[in-house]
Structure formats: C-alpha cells, structure tokens
C-alpha cells in the first residue's frame, strides 16, 4: 500500500489535478463550439427572456424553447462529456504509470457513455418539458456527473481491484468538493461557472481520488489495519473461503 500510493505524492497530486482540469477544458471547448455554431437556435432560450408575473407573484416564462433546443443541448452535453472522459483516460495513461490498458479503457468508456446517453434521454425530455431550460440544466449536470463517475470508475477498475473501494471514496469526495466550490462561487459569475463545470468536476474528482489514496496509505501505515482491501473480511464472513470457478452471472 505504501509503495502504491505514497511515492511522489506531491507531484502526483499536481499531475492528476492538471490532467483532470485539462480534460475538462477540452470538453468545455467542444461545448463552446457547439453552442456557438447553433446560437441562432439556442441563443434566445439561453438568454434572458420576458417574464410575466402571475397573480400569485410567480414568474412565468412567456417564450417557449426552440423545438431543436433539447436535441442540441443533449448533443452538446454528450459530446463535451465524451471528449472530456476520453481525454482524461488518454492523458492518464500517458502521464501516470499506474494506468496502462489504454485501448481497453477508451473502448469501455466510449460505449459506457453511449449507454448513459440513452438512459438519460427520458430524463432530459421530462426535465425540459416540465421545467424548461432550468430543468435541462439540472438534468445536464446529472448527466455529466454520472458519466464522469462511470468513466473514473472504469479507469480505476481496469487497472486495480484490490483497493477499488478507496477510489470510490475518492470519487465521492471529488463530487462533494465540486458542489462545495460551486455553491461558494455560484453567485460571483454564473457564466464563468458554466464554463468551469467540466474542468472543475474532472479536476476535483482526480484530486479527491489522490487525496483518498494518500490518506488511506497514511491510515494503514499508522494503524496497521487494511480495512478497505477487498480481501479483508469482517464479522461472520471472516474465515469463509471464497467460492472459486463460479460464474457471477447466470448466462
């Protein structure tokens, strides 16, 4: 554990943060290009619209979104997130010696993002129909977080299994840091925060993963209990032999 996680800790923290931020930035560039090319369609919806006040004082948006708004925004979210995820995998396999199975990871991440897109389509449709652009923004953030979580998990799962639980904790920590920073600076410049969503999310997840690894290495070194190792058993499972040569799925 010590050799795996503590070697070059400061450099690895910095490198993983830069990789995450760079991958997110590439995704943001793709998002910006799509929005720029389709601004005549999405511009009126994304810009401030005239609002009428009901008798209860509730704002009602008078102008409906363009019929193609949902399709374009969904495509933009998917392509920008896909590019960011693939870039993160590609850069990680170049910089970090821990990650070696580049082609396999890229393939799994690509098809996984396609599956997430199809699963999210009903959510995007319902959110857009019921809540308009604001609902689409919420479902878009959910799409990005699910896709990033999946891709990060695949990257870690294909390169290690012994301490995968540590990286699950790290990914959760990164998502919490992402929301914490968003809540702190959301009112400062909303437009800037939109541009920083992908870089911030990827860099915080990468940072959270590395912090979890280093903290767990310190914990094991000082207390000597390797409780997040998947081979460690607790309670009534202790001493029970693992079943060998069995299929996980009945197919």
Show pLDDT as tens, one digit a residue, over the chain (251 residues).
444 554 456 567 888 889 999 999 999 999 889 888 877 766 666 554 444 444 444 443 444 556 677 788 889 899 999 999 999 999 988 887 778 888 999 999 999 999 999 999 999 888 888 777 777 888 888 999 999 999 998 988 887 768 888 888 999 999 999 988 888 776 666 566 667 889 999 999 999 988 998 888 888 888 877 777 766 666 555 555 655 555 554 44
Global pTM value: 0.79
Is residue 243 assigned to a domain?
no
Is residue 248 assigned to a domain?
no
Number of domains, the chain = 1
Is residue 241 assigned to a domain?
no
Is residue 184 assigned to a domain?
yes
Look up the domain containing 139 and give its range. 2-231
Is residue 133 assigned to a domain?
yes
- Measure the CA–CA gap between 2 and 219, rounded to whole angstroms: 10
Is residue 60 assigned to a domain?
yes
Which residues, other chains included, contact 89 with Cβ-Cβ below 8 Å and sequence gap of 6+?
A: 99, 102, 105, 106, 109, 151, 155
Rounded to 5°, angle at Cα 155 from 153 and 160: 90
């Amino acid at each position: 554990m010590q050799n795996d996680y503590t070697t070059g800790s400061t450099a690895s923290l910095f490198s993983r943060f830069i990789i995450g931020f760079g991958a997110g930035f590439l995704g943001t560039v793709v998002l910006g290009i799509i929005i720029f090319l389709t601004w005549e369609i999405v511009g009126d919806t994304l810009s401030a619209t005239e609002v009428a006040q009901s008798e209860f004082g509730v704002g009602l948006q008078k102008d409906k979104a363009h019929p193609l708004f949902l399709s374009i925004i969904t495509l933009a979210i998917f392509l920008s997130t896909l590019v960011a995820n693939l870039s993160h995998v590609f850069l990680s396999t170049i910089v970090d010696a821990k990650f070696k199975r580049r082609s396999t990871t890229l393939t799994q991440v690509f098809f996984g993002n396609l599956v997430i897109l199809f699963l999210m389509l009903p959510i995007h449709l319902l959110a857009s129909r019921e809540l308009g652009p604001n609902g689409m923004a919420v479902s878009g953030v959910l799409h990005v977080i699910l896709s990033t979580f999946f891709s990060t998990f695949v990257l870690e799962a294909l390169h290690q299994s012994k301490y995968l639980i540590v990286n699950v904790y790290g990914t959760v920590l990164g998502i919490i840091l992402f929301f914490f920073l968003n809540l702190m600076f959301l009112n400062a410049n909303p437009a800037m925060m939109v541009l920083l969503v992908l870089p911030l999310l990827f860099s915080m997840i990468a940072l959270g993963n590395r912090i979890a690894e280093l903290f767990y290495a310190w914990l094991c070194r000082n207390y000597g209990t390797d409780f997040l190792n998947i081979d460690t058993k607790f309670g009534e499972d202790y001493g029970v032999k693992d079943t060998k040569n069995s299929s996980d799925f009945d197919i």
